[in-house]
């Protein structure tokens, strides 16, 4: 079930919210948590009822590890932690990476020695596995106490606003909110505002970009003109941003409706002046997870420059691999890691001293757009063909006019301006988007217009994918 589906908007969300409001009158957080837990399990089982048992098994497993690590008298705590991490990674690896390794193993031995798995990838397994691991690790570090109530831990991991596509919420950030939170009318209004802005990003921008991207990328790279390849990859760059940041806005908004405060997951990454800054602004919950649980434990930047570069290499290798079992995702991660390293080697200082900051933005955009080629295109060879078409001029059978119309022009202009440019030029506009206290009459009118246009669009068009649902 998508947040932008009519079923969610007009059936699931209203019923859940009404039941939650009614429950608050009886048992406040306790009754509300029961409603949220049941709603979350129904939400997950809606699309994949079989995998609800996998989710429950993951929670039960990590509940046991949390209890063991929380005991003062337990021996060999580090071994218990290692076992917990291995089992979590093993669970994720079996469903997400088994066929990847089996394919290359069979190719290396020139035979079908390992049969391919027929299991579909469970929704959200990458996200909820990382959340579960962060809980176990934080209990081991004694940063949080072990949760002795199984249903509280189940609610934390299965909470439907962030269950299948993030943001990755660490237990220590919402531990107190699960047990005691104070919902308010102002928070719910803010939640609705954030949800509707996110819905608009997804339906009115990302979906439109996606239709044209899918259409053009249905052709071979050598059939496309250089100009069309650049335009369509810029459109994909905007599509994935509005898709994922829109989902994150909706998740944050839904959380606020039920009294939770989730941390921001995006901070206008496309206005960055370096790749280092880009990763401080893009998918913040994932980058901070890798920093806190991989980069720093490996030594971070405390053990010399060479070790720092090795640690960065490992982090971005894992970042790419986390997104998918494919060489293209691994290359995408290492591609960004390469630029992170060269910026640390000295290029970053050149960027800082450069008086023409527009060149820094241009450099970052080119790197990011080229990286998205491998994120989107299936296969390294095909990806390299698109890179070649971008930098070596070709006329092609299809040019810019293939998908140039009024709709494309409008969404391109809006997409570029709203990805951080207008918010930077007009700080008050940016502040109004995140203001938790005030909802002006003009802003209310805009929100109703967004909802109306989204409903019209969803009613007329069945194209409504979420890119990050497959991760």
Calculate helix-pair angle for 150-158, 125-140, nearest 10 degrees: 140
Contact 374, 334 (CB under 8 A): no
Q: How far is Cα 200 from Cα 245, in angstroms, rounded to an integer?
A: 11
Going from the C-alpha of 107 to that of each of 101, 102, 115, 379, the distances in angstroms are 10, 8, 12, 16
Contact 32, 260 (CB under 8 A): no
Going from the C-alpha of 162 to that of each of 44, 179, 263, 424, the distances in angstroms are 11, 18, 11, 28
Q: How far is Cα 60 from Cα 66, in angstroms, rounded to an integer?
A: 10
Beta bridge pairs of residue 398: 224
SS3 state at 224? strand
Which contacts of 275-282 are long-range, i.e. CB under 8 A and separated by 24 or more positions?
275/336, 275/339, 275/340, 275/343, 275/364, 275/367, 275/368, 276/340, 276/343, 276/344, 276/348, 277/364, 278/364, 278/368, 279/336, 279/340
Residue 308: partners with Cβ closer than 8 Å, 6 or more residues away: 299, 300, 301, 344
Say if residue 409 is exposed, middle or buried (CB neighbours under 10 Å; 0-12, 13-18, 19+). exposed
**CA 244 to chain CA centroid, nearest Å:** 6
Q: How far is Cα 303 from Cα 289, in angstroms, rounded to an integer?
A: 20
Active site residue 323: yes
Q: How far is Cα 201 from Cα 218, in angstroms, rounded to an integer?
A: 24
**Which residue in the list 152, 283, 323, 361 is annotated as catalytic?**
323
Q: How far is Cα 260 from Cα 177, in angstroms, rounded to an integer?
A: 6
Location of structure tokens 């397994």:
125
For the beta carbon of residue 440, count every other beta carbon within 10 angstroms.
10
Q: How far is Cα 23 from Cα 128, in angstroms, rounded to an integer?
A: 26
Catalytic residues: 323
């Amino acid at each position: 079930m998508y947040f932008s589906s009519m079923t969610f908007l007009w059936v699931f969300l209203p019923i859940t919210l009404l039941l939650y409001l009614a429950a608050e009158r009886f048992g406040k957080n306790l009754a509300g948590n029961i409603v949220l837990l049941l709603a979350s399990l129904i939400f997950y089982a809606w699309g994949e009822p079989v995998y609800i048992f996998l989710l429950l098994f993951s929670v039960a497993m990590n509940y046991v590890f949390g209890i063991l690590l929380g005991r003062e008298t337990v021996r060999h705590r580090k071994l218990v932690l290692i076992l917990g991490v291995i089992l979590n990674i093993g669970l994720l690896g079996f469903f997400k990476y088994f066929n990847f390794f089996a394919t290359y193993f069979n190719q290396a031995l020139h035979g079908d020695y390992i049969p391919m798995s027929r299991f579909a990838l469970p929704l959200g397994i990458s996200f909820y596995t990382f959340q579960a691991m962060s809980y176990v690790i934080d209990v081991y570090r004694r940063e949080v106490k072990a949760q002795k109530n199984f249903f509280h831990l189940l609610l934390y991991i299965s909470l439907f606003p962030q269950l299948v596509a993030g943001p990755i919420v660490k237990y220590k950030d919402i531990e107190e909110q699960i047990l005691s939170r104070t919902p308010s009318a102002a928070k719910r209004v803010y939640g609705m505002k954030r949800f509707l802005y996110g819905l608009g990003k997804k339906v009115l921008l990302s979906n439109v970009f996606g239709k044209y991207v899918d259409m053009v990328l249905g052709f071979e790279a050598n059939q496309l003109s250089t100009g069309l390849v650049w335009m369509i990859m810029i459109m994909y760059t905007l599509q994935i941003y509005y898709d994922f940041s829109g989902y994150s806005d909706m998740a944050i908004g839904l959380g606020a409706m039920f009294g939770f405060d989730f941390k921001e997951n995006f901070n206008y990454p496309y206005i960055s002046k370096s790749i280092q800054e880009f990763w401080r602004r893009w998918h913040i919950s994932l980058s901070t997870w890798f920093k806190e649980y991989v980069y720093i434990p490996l030594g971070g930047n405390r053990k010399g420059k060479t070790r720092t570069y090795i640690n960065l290499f490992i982090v971005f290798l894992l970042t790419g691999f986390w997104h998918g079992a494919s060489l293209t995702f691994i290359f995408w991660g290492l591609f960004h890691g390469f630029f992170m390293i060269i910026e640390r080697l000295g290029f970053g200082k050149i960027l800082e001293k450069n008086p023409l900051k527009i060149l820094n933005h241009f450099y970052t955009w080119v790197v990011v757009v080229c990286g998205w080629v491998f994120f989107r295109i299936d296969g390294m060879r095909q990806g390299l063909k698109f890179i070649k078409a971008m930098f070596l001029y070709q006329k092609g059978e299809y040019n810019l006019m293939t998908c140039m119309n009024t709709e494309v022009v409008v969404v391109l202009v809006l997409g570029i301006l709203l990805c951080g440019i207008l918010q930077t030029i007009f700080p008050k506009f940016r502040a109004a988007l995140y203001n938790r206290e005030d909802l002006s009459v003009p802003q209310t009118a805009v929100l109703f217009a967004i909802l109306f246009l989204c409903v019209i669009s969803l009613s007329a068009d069945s194209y409504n994918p979420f890119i990050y649902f497959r991760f």
